[in-house]
Structure formats: structure tokens, C-alpha cells
Amino acid sequence: MTSTSASAPKPFDVVGIGNAIVDVLVQAEESFLDDHGLSKGTMALVDESQAELLYASVGPGLETSGGSAANTLAGIAQLGGRAAFIGRVRDDQLGAIFTHDIRSVGARFETTAATTGPSTARCLILVTPDAQRTMCTYLGASVGLDPADLDLDLVRQSQMLYLEGYLWDSEEAKRAFIAAAEAARESGGQVALSLSDAFCVDRHRDSFLELVDGHVDVLFANEMEITALYKADSFEAAADRVRGRCRVAALTRSEQGSVLLAGDETIAIAPFRLGDLVDTTGAGDLYAAGFLHGYTRGESLERCGRLGSLCAGQVVTQLGPRPQASLPELVRQHLG
């Protein structure tokens, strides 16, 4: 197969921009969510003092690197993809953990750590007995991502730019992300976006609608997020609305699997059940990892969806959003 492009192949498959976060996973009862006014399955932003108060009221935690796009890029690297991540930590112990973990799976991560200001972002993740996760995020140093850190050269060297919707919670950075999306496309790359969270969609609906229409090639959303985006009454109505607005919309529906919409095509992807459901943290992030890994390798959309579904199916059988099992081994076993 000969390339029609005169340019050298791009050195990265996917570059992600996101909040650089360390997760604190804690087991909690349903009543804890009620007592603290938390809405199950969503992400709430908290300031440092709220974060401290909440932390003081929960049981023992398990700490792990997190961050939505960071989880996705770590997953792509674990799958053998050429991955890079851009996000801001502070030069503290949690920042060192985040940096170690993403580099140790082979992803490039060179964003300079902040030497002053808020500490590395933390997300308190309450895992209820039904394995659902409810998140309270203190964005800390991650909102200090400097437009200069966006490294447009790295973006141009990547086949795909991946943005998490959570980034839109950093007001001043929005324009920089649009600039990055434009740089990606101008250099022949594509842009993927995850809507991240239904409340996040509510906060930034107009901005997301504009982005999807104007800048996004691959959109990831779960049922709540896509219905929130189009204020739709049903999943089907939302799916009708998004069809044709980007190359591919990958819509995830938990235990009902996922649906890929591409042009007139609709591809249903079955979920993988690999064990007991332990913790849904990272399910969407790992779906995106599997999908994008296949997509940037030129796999069929169906196989991309199955790769996403498999990676999501693994991560929900463990505590935390970074796969503790070997993803390439899983792919060999289940997808040949």
C-alpha cells in the first residue's frame, strides 16, 4: 500500500490533553452520597477545603493515577500504541506518582510541573456497593495548564488529538484547545472528544455543540451525556441528532454495550463480561483507549468498537482506572 501523502509518518498515534489527576478510591455506602448531596455516577468539582473536609469523612483510600484523558492515553500505551499526554501537575509527591505511572507504560509526558501554586489535582472517588463511582475533583495544579504547554508541534506529530470534556472547566484554556484542534486538522490529523460527564455537558453545552459541529471527528459519549448534549428525551432521539455531525460517534450504554454511528451506518457492539463488576471507574476512558488504538491503526470500525468494549470490560473488574492486567494479552485471548 502506497501513501498519497508526501509527509513522513507521524511519530505519535494519539496525543491527549487533560487534567493530570491522582485518584483516591474509597468504598462508600449509598447513604454517604445522600448525606453529602452527591449525585451517583457523576463528577462534582470541589475546592481544596471541600476536598479536605470530604476526605476527612471517608474511610481508607487506595491511591492511583487517574484523569480521564490520561487514563485513555495510558491505556493506548499499554496496548502498544504511541501515546503522548499533556497536562499539568505540581512538583509534589502526587505529581511524581502521576508522572511515573504514565511514563512507565511508555507514554510520553513532558509537561513541566508547576513549582508554585496549588498541589497536584486529586479526585476522591466513592465506589458504592453496586460498583458505581461518584467523583469529587479538586483540580489543583491542573487548571494551571499554560497555553504554551499545549505543544502544537506534538499535536501536529500525532494522528489524533484527544480532548476530555472536563478541560472546559478551565475557562481560560478553551481557546487554546480550539487552537490545538485546528493545528491537528491542519496537519492532517483528526480530533476526538469525550463529553466526560452529564453535568459537565450542562455546564458547557453551547461550547460542546459548536465543537462537535466544527472540530470533532470522533465523539465519545455515554447515554446520559449525549442526551444531555441535545436535551433529548431518549437515547434514540439523541443518536438521531448527533448522526452525521462527526465522522464517528461512539455512544456507550454500560451493560447494553455501545453503538457506533458513522454516516448512515449503525454498528452495535456487545459488552464483554470478564468477571464480577468491581468498580466502573475508567470504563469510558478505557473504551476510548481501545477504540482509538484500533482507529489509528486503520482497523474496521467494528473491531475498534470491540477493542474499546474489551478494555472497558477489563477495567470494571478491578479497583481503579488503570488496567492492572495486560491489555495486549486480553486482546490476544478475546479478539485474536
User: What is the spatial distance between Cα 151 and Cα 49, in angstroms, rounded to a whole number?
Assistant: 33
- CA angle centred on 283, ends 241 and 221, rounded to 5°: 10
What's the closest the beta carbon of residue 20 comes to a copy of itself, in angstroms?
14
71 binds a copy of itself (CB under 8 A): no
132 binds a copy of itself (CB under 8 A): no
Residues 250-279 that bind a copy of itself (CB under 8 A): none
Q: Which is nearer to a copy of itself, 59 or 214 (CB)?
A: 59
C-alpha cell of residue 294: 484500533
60 binds a copy of itself (CB under 8 A): yes
Contact 26, 281 (CB under 8 A): no
Residues 2-41 that bind a copy of itself (CB under 8 A): 24, 27
**Which contacts (CB < 8 Å, 24+ apart) does range 170-173 have?**
170/139, 170/142, 170/143, 170/145, 173/143, 173/145, 173/147
C-alpha cell of residue 15: 496525543
1 binds a copy of itself (CB under 8 A): no
55 binds a copy of itself (CB under 8 A): yes
The piece of 7-15, 58-66, 158-166, 297-305 that touches a copy of itself (CB under 8 A) is 58-66
Contact 291, 307 (CB under 8 A): yes
133 binds a copy of itself (CB under 8 A): no
User: Cα dist. 226→34, 181, 198, 223, 281 in Å?
Assistant: 26, 21, 8, 5, 19
62 binds a copy of itself (CB under 8 A): yes
Residues 200-229 that bind a copy of itself (CB under 8 A): none
Residue ranges in contact with a copy of itself by CB under 8 A: 24, 27, 55-56, 58-65, 74, 92-94, 97, 100-102, 104-105, 119, 319-320, 322, 324
